Amino acid sequence: MKQLSILLLGIFLLTSCEITEKVYIDKQGNVSYSSNMDLTQMMEMVPKDELKENDYPIDSIFTVDGITKSQTEFSKGFEGDEEKELMKNFKIHVKLDDDESFMNMILDKKNLNDFNSFMSNLSSDIERINTKRLKQNEKLPDSAQLDLIDIPIFSMPKLSYNKKSFKRTGPIKSITESSNNEQMKGMEGLKDMVRFKLEYHFERPIKSVSDKSARLSPDGKTVYIEKPMSIAVEDPKAFDFEVKFK
């Protein structure tokens, strides 16, 4: 299992990848959120004999409790009590097969204030825990060092919404920043191979979008923004945008 994990990470960083942040906002301001990582191209490069030795194919939706009991490769990142607590509000949809592969982190619908509080607290908790672990690691040998928490969500946005407008703010975490491996962090050129997409659905028709690269759906109620991860690294505000409604 560990060998497959290392292989997947290596291939992931050497292939193009799409990450989609998908958000639905109803007229009352309730938010449904998911973060989807498309792994299809990556899985095409995994040797078939490696797949046969592991859990494959997979198509399952887990809660944190369920995934830690599954004893699959995907359970390894959620075994600690702190990891379980951070992820308890998410459902995790993992699909790996010959036709389509992805991992989708799904957050149940929340009102706007609860959503913003949740994302803010999640970011603060991860930073607090990792700071503590880094200090502990200074006193530990390499073989005993604690892993830093790194959940597969590449944005923890702050949203504002009213009848006239909507605003999204919050930086995108780069794929190399998210890796705990110092060698991977130095692979700056790979950022151009990762594309980040925003897909925001509204019930109100859209009048305008501040990001000039944005596309609208035919019914004028969905915003699509797509850029390479390198843009997010150069400009933390690259994915901030504002929508005006009709």
β-strands 17-25, 194-202 pairing: parallel
Q: Confirm if 202 and 28 have CB atoms less than 8 A apart.
A: no
Is the predicted pLDDT of residue 106 greater than 90, yes or no? yes
Phi/psi for 187 (5° steps) reads -90, 70
More confident residue, 211 or 68: 211
Report residue 189 CA to chain centroid gap.
20
Is the predicted pLDDT of residue 190 greater than 60, yes or no? no
Quote the CA–CA distance of 238 and 233 in Å, as a whole number.
9
Ranked by mean pLDDT, the top range of 10-24, 119-133, 175-189, 219-233 is: 219-233
Is the predicted pLDDT of residue 69 greater than 80, yes or no? no
pLDDT tens digits along 164-189: 999 999 877 644 454 444 444 444 55
Q: With left for phi above 0 and alpha for psi between -120 and 50, is residue 3 left, alpha or beta?
A: alpha
Q: Confirm if 85 and 103 have CB atoms less than 8 A apart.
A: no
The pLDDT, as a whole number, for residue 215 is 98
Q: Confirm if 19 and 102 have CB atoms less than 8 A apart.
A: no
Tell me what the pLDDT averaged over the chain comes to. 78
Quote the CA–CA distance of 237 and 171 in Å, as a whole number.
6
The pLDDT, as a whole number, for residue 228 is 85
More confident residue, 197 or 69: 197
Quote the CA–CA distance of 233 and 56 in Å, as a whole number.
34
pLDDT tens digits along 89-103: 888 888 887 788 888
| Encoded tokens for 15 | 């292939």
The pLDDT, as a whole number, for residue 204 is 96
In whole angstroms, how far apart are CA 33 and each of 51, 81, 191, 211? 31, 24, 24, 21
- Helix locations, the chain, DSSP H: 2-12, 40-44, 48-52, 64-70, 81-87, 112-137, 175-178, 182-185, 229-234
Rg of the chain over CA atoms, in angstroms?
Answer: 19
Q: Confirm if 97 and 107 have CB atoms less than 8 A apart.
A: no
CB proximity list for 178: less than 8 A, separation 6 or greater: 150, 154
Quote the CA–CA distance of 127 and 119 in Å, as a whole number.
12
Length of the chain: 246
The pLDDT, as a whole number, for residue 51 is 62
More confident residue, 182 or 18: 18
In whole angstroms, how far apart are CA 216 and each of 99, 171, 221, 240? 28, 22, 7, 16
The lowest-confidence range among 28-32, 40-44, 186-190, 231-235 is 186-190
